[in-house]
């Protein structure tokens, strides 16, 4: 019989933070969050309608537990006006563009302005240049220069990553960085700030759920 003491994980306070994914349609927002939460990749494109909701629980090094509520929003222009409904009250945002589509990067700048105006300067931002798996060795398909994207992100206080949901590239690192920055900004206790400053995340539990019914009808690439 196992005589080990019961786990004390449940005695550690659970802090909850809201994260929103924003970007044009077909840039891969849903693929990124599905890869992060469920480690799944669906090569078929299915349009997200309005929004889907996921949760992810993680342990920070030390004595801190975090639950991320991740809202995956529709990128179609006709849903743009609904944006504030979903990202109001967010602690962090992932702004996604397609590295082969310059217009999708320009749209990120619009989202950043809206987030700063509606939520304020404390919201933590990461920018994902997604679909790097589409680039050939000569980068002929690239339409967004990585150095220019990095420079823009520094100018608005965001962290830039180039990602691929298909290849599972830089996704954990991106969400890890965002979570740590959220904790440093929004956690009040000194213990929480010390834990988040150690720059280590360990997955404790994965949960996902769809908002407003069947998620299968609402997910995008």
Residue ranges per domain, the chain? Answer: 10-217
Residue 94 CA to residue 54 CA, distance in Å, equals: 14
| Strands of the 14-23 sheet, one edge to the other | 158-162, 124-130, 92-98, 14-23, 64-73, 51-60, 201-208
pLDDT at residue 196 tops 50: no
As a 3-state breakdown, the chain gives helix, strand, coil percent values, each rounded to 5, of: 35, 25, 35
pLDDT at residue 35 tops 90: yes
How does residue 86 score in pLDDT terms, banded at 50, 70 and 90?
Answer: confident
- Read off the pLDDT of each residue in 125-145 and give the average, rounded to a whole number: 94
pLDDT of residue 124: 98
Question: Over the chain, what is the mean pLDDT?
Answer: 79
pLDDT of residue 162: 98
pLDDT at residue 82 tops 70: no
Of residues 60 and 157, more confidence is placed in 157
Query: What is the crossing angle of helices 146-156 and 102-118, to 10°?
Result: 10
Can you name the residues that pair with 221 across neighbouring β-strands? none
pLDDT at residue 211 tops 50: no
pLDDT exceeding 90 applies to what percent of the chain?
A: 55
pLDDT of residue 45: 52
pLDDT of residue 60: 79
Residue 176 CA to residue 150 CA, distance in Å, equals: 18
pLDDT at residue 16 tops 90: yes
- Read off the pLDDT of each residue in 16-20 and give the average, rounded to a whole number: 95
pLDDT of residue 200: 38
pLDDT exceeding 70 applies to what percent of the chain?
A: 71
pLDDT at residue 207 tops 90: no
CATH topology assigned to domain 10-217: Rossmann fold (3.40.50)
pLDDT of residue 131: 96
- Read off the pLDDT of each residue in 72-76 and give the average, rounded to a whole number: 66
Residue 215 CA to residue 49 CA, distance in Å, equals: 10
Q: Are 14 and 65 in contact (CB under 8 A)?
A: yes
Most confidently modeled of 22-26, 39-43, 151-155, 185-189?
A: 151-155
């Amino acid at each position: 019989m196992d005589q080990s003491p019961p786990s004390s994980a449940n005695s550690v306070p659970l802090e909850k933070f809201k994260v929103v994914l924003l970007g044009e349609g077909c840039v891969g927002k849903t693929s990124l969050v599905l890869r992060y939460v469920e480690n799944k990749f669906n090569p078929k494109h299915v349009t997200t309608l309005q929004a889907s909701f996921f949760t992810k629980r993680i342990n920070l090094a030390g004595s801190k537990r975090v639950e991320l509520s991740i809202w995956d929003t529709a990128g179609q222009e006709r849903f743009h006006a609904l944006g504030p409904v979903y990202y109001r009250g967010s602690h962090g945002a992932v702004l996604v563009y397609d590295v082969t589509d310059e217009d999708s990067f320009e749209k990120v700048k619009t989202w950043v302005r809206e987030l700063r105006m509606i939520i304020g300067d404390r919201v933590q931002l990461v920018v994902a240049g997604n679909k790097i798996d589409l680039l050939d060795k000569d980068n002929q398909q690239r339409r967004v220069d990585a150095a220019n994207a990095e420079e823009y992100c520094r100018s608005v206080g965001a962290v830039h990553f180039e990602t691929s949901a298909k290849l599972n590239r830089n996704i954990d690192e991106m969400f890890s960085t965002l979570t740590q920055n959220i904790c440093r900004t929004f956690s009040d206790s000194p213990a929480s700030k010390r834990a988040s400053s150690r720059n280590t995340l360990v997955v404790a539990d994965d949960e996902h759920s769809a908002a407003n019914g069947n998620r299968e009808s609402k997910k995008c690439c």
